[in-house]
Amino acid sequence: MANVLRIAVVDPNDATRENLKAVLLGLETVWLEAECSRYAFFVDVVEQTQPEIALIAMDSDPQRAVKLIHETLQRAPTCAVLVTSSSTDGRLILESMRAGAKEFLTEPLRPEDLATALQRVRRQVAGGGPSSQKAGCQVFAVAGATGGVGASSIAVNLACALAADSSNSVVLVDLDVALGDADVFLDAIPEYTLADIAQNVERLDLTLLKKSLTVHASGVHLLPRPMHLEDARLITPDKLQRVIGLLKTSFTHLVLDTSKSYSELDMLALRSADEVLMITQLDLPCMRNVVRLLMTFDEDEALRSKVRVVVNRFGQDSGQISMKKARDTIGRDIYWQVPNDYRVMVEVRNNGVPLLQHAPKAAITQSIGQLADQLCGKKADDDGEREGKSRRWLNLWPSR
Residue 191 lies in a domain: yes
Question: Do both 112 and 207 map to the same domain?
Answer: no
Tell me the CATH number at 378: 3.40.50.300
Question: Do both 114 and 148 map to the same domain?
Answer: no
Tell me the CATH number at 15: 3.40.50.2300
Task: Check whether 394 has a pLDDT greater than 70.
Answer: no
Are the C-beta atoms of residues 288 and 173 closer than 8 Å to each other? no
pLDDT of 205 reads: 65
Could you say which of 132, 158, 183 is where a domain stops? 132
Q: Radius of gyration of the chain from Cα atoms? A: 24
pTM above 0.85, yes or no: no
pLDDT of 310 reads: 97
Question: Do both 86 and 120 map to the same domain?
Answer: yes
Residue 327 lies in a domain: yes
Question: Do both 238 and 367 map to the same domain?
Answer: yes
Question: Do both 91 and 166 map to the same domain?
Answer: no
Question: Do both 257 and 384 map to the same domain?
Answer: yes
Question: Do both 99 and 68 map to the same domain?
Answer: yes
Number of domains observed in the structure of the chain:
2
Could you say which of 85, 104, 132 is where a domain stops? 132
DSSP 299: T
DSSP state letters, 83-128: EEES---HHHHHHHHHHT-SEEEESSPPHHHHHHHHHHHHHHHHTS
Question: Do both 116 and 195 map to the same domain?
Answer: no
Angle at the Cα of 328 (from 323 to 330), degrees rounded to 5? Answer: 95
Residue 217 lies in a domain: yes
Could you say which of 132, 151, 182 is where a domain stops? 132
Give the lowest-confidence range in 15-29, 76-90, 97-111.
15-29
Task: Check whether 383 has a pLDDT greater than 60.
Answer: no
Identify the band that residue 89 occupies on the pLDDT scale cut at 50, 70 and 90.
Answer: confident
Question: Do both 297 and 194 map to the same domain?
Answer: yes
Question: Do both 232 and 325 map to the same domain?
Answer: yes
Kindly give the residue spans of alpha helices, DSSP state H, lying in the chain. 14-25, 39-49, 62-75, 90-99, 111-126, 151-163, 182-185, 194-199, 206-212, 237-250, 264-272, 284-298, 323-330, 342-351, 355-358, 363-375, 383-395
- 3 state DSSP class of 340: coil
Are the C-beta atoms of residues 277 and 138 closer than 8 Å to each other? no
281-297 residue pLDDT tens: 999 999 999 999 999 99
Domain interval for residue 332: 138-395
Task: Check whether 399 has a pLDDT greater than 90.
Answer: no
Give the lowest-confidence range in 75-84, 115-124, 319-328.
115-124
